[in-house]
Amino acid sequence: MRALLTAAAMAIASTAAFGQEGKLVLYTSQPQTDAQQTIDAFKAKFPKVDVSFVRDGTPRVMAKLRAEIEAGQPQADILLIADSVTMEGLKKEGRLLPHKPANLAAYPAGIHDKDGFWFGTKLITTGIVYNAKAPFKPTSWADLKRPEAKGQLALPSPLTSGAAMIHTVTLVANLPEGWGFYDAIAANKAVPGGGNGDILKQVAGGEKMFGMIVDYMPIREKAKGAPVEFVFPKEGVSAVSEPVAILKTTKNEAAARAFIDFVLSPEGQDLATKQGYVPALPTAALPPGYPEREAIRLMTFDAGKALAEDDANKKRFSDIFGQ
């Protein structure tokens, strides 16, 4: 009897999984290959769902979505974009549909929206990259204020990058000197501007000896032979969580909810590892080239506060660096 009940339960679960069907539209800032891999893995479990996607940087994805909303014809069912501040803005506007995944107990606090409107899928941290010929090995954010680093630090500008702004406000909120840290590196002739790719190019090429950058870029380039090293500073790192959410205007709510559940499942999180990122799920393995998870200390971040203070933070940064 127990065997029959087990078989019946499995049959019901299988029917539920394959009951999802129809079209599902994903708007994402994931790299093209990552987006396709995510969709392919999802479709392997839900073959009756026809998934299409639009891929671009978060600002352009949001510009497209907002134009569609303005026209009364939003096309996306799911958003999977770079940062939680953008998601928090959409939540505040009432654009998102809340969801309750089956089990989030294994995830650390602060990764997901407490009201269930968006969910972090990865931890793309920002730390320090340095050239192999640098005058010292940095282990702390404070090291970037040292005289040997004068004129040798490049960093992305939060005036043009949402991820860089998250990094900035995270450091301000967690380092004892707050904005004083940025005053100090500005006095030490740090140069903001360009994206993460540009920072990597400058440091790998020896134009600058140090940079603030997302983890996976220098880790991957080092594996290819580039003369760079990446450091997770001892005070901690900021993280962009690449959150996923359902648009309230979705035309396929069942499939959209299944997509959220999939990317948060152990299988979906293992895919993040295979793609070369730190999964948000603490029990998932890390990619090659990363230290033990215990060595990566995450600083606290308040997306709602960052959204409310965005204009003031941009002005403060601009005033410090004269931009």
Q: What are 322's two structure tokens?
A: 């004269």
Q: What is the pLDDT of residue 77?
A: 98
The percentage of the chain sitting over the pLDDT mark of 70, rounded to a whole number, equals 94
Question: What's the total number of domains in the chain?
Answer: 2
Where does the pLDDT of residue 5 fall: very low under 50, low under 70, confident under 90, or very high at 90 and above? very low
List, for residues 158-182, the tens digit of each pLDDT value. Answer: 998 888 999 999 999 999 999 999 9
Same-domain status, 246 and 109: yes
When pLDDT is averaged across residues 23-45 and rounded to a whole number, the result is: 96
If asked whether residues 75 and 100 sit together in one domain, one would say yes
Distance between CA atoms of residues 22 and 251, nearest Å: 9
Element spanning 53, H or E: strand 49-55
Query: In sequence order, what are the beta bridge partners of 212?
Result: 128
Which residues constitute the domain of residue 97? 2-121+241-290
Rounded to two decimals, what is the model's pTM? 0.84
List, for residues 178-208, the tens digit of each pLDDT value: 999 999 999 999 999 888 999 999 999 999 9
Q: Which pLDDT score, from 0 to 100, does residue 301 have?
A: 93
Does residue 185 sit in the same domain as residue 115? no
Q: Are 177 and 306 part of one and the same domain? A: yes
Residues 136 and 221 in one domain: yes
Is residue 106 located within the same domain as residue 73?
yes
Residues 137 and 64 in one domain: no
Identify whether residues 114 and 129 lie together within a single domain. no
- Do residues 147 and 297 lie in contact, with contact meaning Cβ atoms separated by under 8 Å? no
How far apart CA 68 and CA 229 sit, in angstroms, is: 43
Domain identity same for 200 and 264: no
Residue 62: give its domain's CATH number: 3.40.190.10
Are 169 and 264 in a shared domain? no
Do 83 and 211 fall into the same domain?
no
Question: Can you give the pLDDT at residue 29?
Answer: 92
